[in-house]
């Protein structure tokens, strides 16, 4: 199942109106999540570091495929949607694609 959201984001003092699609069964790498454009940091490295911090702090559920010494995280689409729904304002939630 693919979910679609209309995101209103303020990025570098511009309001951006974006539509994104997230497959809830797919596993996304941090790079793929950053490429979706849902993080509002200034550059790609900062966005990825923010995302990894959210994962390590437990704010976003993820699987560690690399072990303790060299973690490699993947996030299932359903967990990404859950995280986004807790971060967005009411009315901007992820909705089922019709």
Q: Consecutive sets of 10 residues in the chain, 98 residues long: mean pLDDT of each? A: 52 53 89 83 80 90 92 92 72 49
**Cα–Cα distance for residue pair 7/91, rounded to 1 Å:** 10
Cβ 44 vs Cβ 52: under 8 Å:
no
49: helix, strand or coil = helix
pTM value > 0.85: no
The pLDDT of residue 74 is 96
- Provide the number of structural domains found in the chain: 1
Which residue segment(s) compose the domain that 38 sits in? 2-95
């Amino acid at each position: 199942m693919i979910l679609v959201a209309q995101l209103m984001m303020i990025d570098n003092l511009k309001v951006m109106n974006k539509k994104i699609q997230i497959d809830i069964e797919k596993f996304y790498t941090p790079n793929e999540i950053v490429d979706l454009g849902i993080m509002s940091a200034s550059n790609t490295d900062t966005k990825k570091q923010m995302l990894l911090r959210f994962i390590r702090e437990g704010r976003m559920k993820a699987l560690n495929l690399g072990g303790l010494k060299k973690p490699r995280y993947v996030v299932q689409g359903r967990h990404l949607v859950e995280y986004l729904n807790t971060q967005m304002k009411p009315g901007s939630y992820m909705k089922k694609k019709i």
